[in-house]
Amino acid sequence: MPVMACCVDSAVAPPGHADAGDTSIPSPVPFLSFNAAAVTAAVANSESSHWSPAHSSAIYRIDEWGAPYFSVNSSGNVVVRPYGTGSLAHQEIDLLKIVKKVSDPKSAGGLGLRLPLIVRLPDVLKNRVESLHSAFESAIQAQCYESHYQGVYPVKCNQDRLVAEDIVKFGAPFRFGLEAGSKPELLLAMSCLCKGNPEALLVCNGFKDAEYVSLALIAKKLALNTVIVLEQEEEVNLVIDLSNKLSVRPVIGVRAKLRTKHSGHFGSTSGEKGKFGLTTTQILRLVKKLQDSGMLDCLQLLHFHIGSQIPSTALLQDGVVEATQIYSELVRLGACMKVIDIGGGLGIDYDGSKSGNSDLSVSYGLEEYASAVVNAIRIICDRKSIKHPIICSESGRAIVSHHSILIFEAISATVNTPAMNQIDLPLIIEGLSEDARCDYWNLSDAAMRHENETCLLYADQLKQRCVEQFIEGSLRIEQLADVDGLFDLVSKVIGAAEPARIYNVNLSIFTSIPDFWSIGQVFPIVPIHRLDEKPEVRGVLSDLTCDSDGKIDKFIGGETSLLLHELEGNDGGANGRYYLGMFLGGAYQEALGGVHNLFGGPNVVSVLQSDGPQSFAVTRVMPGPSCADVLRMMQHEPELMFETLKHRAEEFHVEDHDNDGTKYATLISSLARSFHNMPYLKALSPCSYEEVHNAAAEFGASEDEQWSYCYA
């Protein structure tokens, strides 16, 4: 270890191995002083100058989890290919350009919004709907299947109005419908499907009361292709009674509780002990009740669900075969069966591993999934001489995950290197205990012998002894800092792994990535720019919340840290800022997010591919909740809060306290704007109170949008 040896004065031989009982401590000569910059340069990796975007794409596995929608361009920025494999080079959308458009001030042609930001890409959503339908149609044609496929989107995955409306619009040519699991979801599905294909299914799942069933029957009266799926046995009585009272002939489905299940986290509600569905005994009783009521012909759909993220087509086929056997028995018993609904489960490859042994991945693609389903149903139906049913699936994660990207900013990072350029070793030794001095000389001796592990052992031991001395009050803070610097030097020189740095990000994990916090779901997280530079820092991400769980320390590939770039004052491409993107998070995250520390949701923009110079157009902006909005969620009254603060200012005669022109009215205006602005941070350089106010005014609402009493 030549660099370490250079730190030792070779003209003076260090003592032999010292022990705690040795009282003859030589005067401190080795190590003398240390120049941190010189050591850093000596251990720097010369390969960094040969880095390319292709290297970054490989280490972040972008081509594995991101294909065919995401890649890296020659500038080192992540780009979106909005039409998947059909995207042309000039149609690629640069994510950094979107961030610039959104975050630049209005005076510079931007939208003046702050991060975090959700970028929605309707073009990708459309491609997902088309690709799913195309996969099933190809399998149907290849296997001479004698019916068709028509899917439904389960709105629980993302209930946003624009998402649901877009899916209905994009899916209209394919009779694509919606699935609801609650009364509000049913209401939004009914409204959206009024503009959809008349044949599109409206599948009503979930627990039901009389109001839910009545609402579903009203949907049927409104000429929506509604199916009431019975999840609990007692629901059949409600349907029979209410359909007679409302004079509606319902279409009924039944959810079967299959024996088939998968063992992963997302399969916990499947199998015989699953949360939903009817056993074979319950299905037989249901058939008898419908028959006795003269409504057996209303039973037309069989539904099942063996869990989200089905890992393999082998497991999928097992479930489909079992369900098709039940379907064929219902036909034999006299039900007018038409549709088999295979539920959700079409998985997403979050880490690009194409593995069937992980909740983060699946071992198949769309085409293989569709082929396995069609083949399993066809074989059983042909064997039983039963007409091939319409195939329905409730794929949510697979439809919406890719179209939404969460972009956020790293605002600061911890530094592991010594803060001082020079370490004063004689000063350290001056105040050391006898045992600590022995550790120092043993470290020096190990350095001369090039014994790396022994060096680290004694450096750590020395550090711990000095911490104890500091706590006892016998060591000064300057000495402790120098000891920390010495330990970092030793670790760096012998090549010990540097601890992961903490990158502080302008984000709430509880609001924007709740599945990571709650169930350990891992999503791809990647810098969206600077990918033409080598990332040489290992980091974990810490959010804005005052909570120890507010950090991301698990990443795809089983990593406990993420390769990142050094934060710089100016990187030339993003005004010195460092942007990260979380991908494949379009399902569930917005619906499940909370308001921990009163951080609300991010700003949201919809972006379409355009033939203009930037290849995109921001078509819709949906501002995130303001401080006032999230306060209202917790039953506070922002208007009254503002009045209280205003009166407090009047009571204490708040005036021109700093003599720089700041007036009472400016202070009140600033308070008002604080209620209107988002809870997240806005990056600002050190500046005066007046500049902060001007920045707030630029971002905040215009005067005519303010509360009227603010300027009373």
Which residue from 469, 489, 488 is spatially nearest to 479, judged by alpha carbons? 469
How many whole angstroms separate alpha carbon 97 and alpha carbon 529? 10
Residue 156, sorted as left (phi over 0), alpha (psi -120 to 50) or beta, turns out to be: alpha
How many whole angstroms separate alpha carbon 146 and alpha carbon 590? 39
Between helices 161-171 and 183-193, what is the axis angle to 10°?
40
Burial of 181 by CB count in 10 Å (0-12 exposed, 13-18 middle, 19+ buried)? Answer: buried
Concatenating the DSSP letter of every residue in 216-262 gives: HHHHHHTT-EEEEEE-STTHHHHHHHHHHHTT----EEEEB--S---
How many whole angstroms separate alpha carbon 533 and alpha carbon 327? 57
Q: What is the 3-state secondary structure (H, E, C) of 306-327?
A: CCCCCCCHHHHHHHHHHHHHHH
Residue 605: phi and psi, rounded to 5, are: -130, 145
Helices (H), 36-82: 36-43, 53-59, 62-65
How many whole angstroms separate alpha carbon 209 and alpha carbon 183? 10
Residue 221, sorted as left (phi over 0), alpha (psi -120 to 50) or beta, turns out to be: alpha
Instruction: Based on the residue annotation, tell me whether 336 is a catalytic residue of this protein.
Output: no
Q: Is the peptide bond before 122 cis (omega within 30 degrees of 0)?
A: no
Q: Which one of 546, 627, 687, 710 is the catalytic residue? A: 546
Measure CA of the first residue to CA of the last residue in the chain; give whole Å.
Answer: 73
How many whole angstroms separate alpha carbon 396 and alpha carbon 275? 19
Q: Which helix (H) or strand (E) holds 151?
A: none
Q: What are the tokens at 534? A: 């080598």
Q: Is the peptide bond before 68 cis (omega within 30 degrees of 0)?
A: yes
**Long-range contacts (CB closer than 8 Å, 24 or more residues apart) made by 97-104:** 97/614, 97/616, 98/407, 98/605, 98/607, 98/616, 98/618, 99/407, 99/528, 99/574, 99/579, 100/574, 101/614, 101/618, 102/603, 102/605, 102/618
* Greatest distance between any 2 Cα atoms in the chain: 105
Q: Tell me which residues are annotated as active site.
A: 546
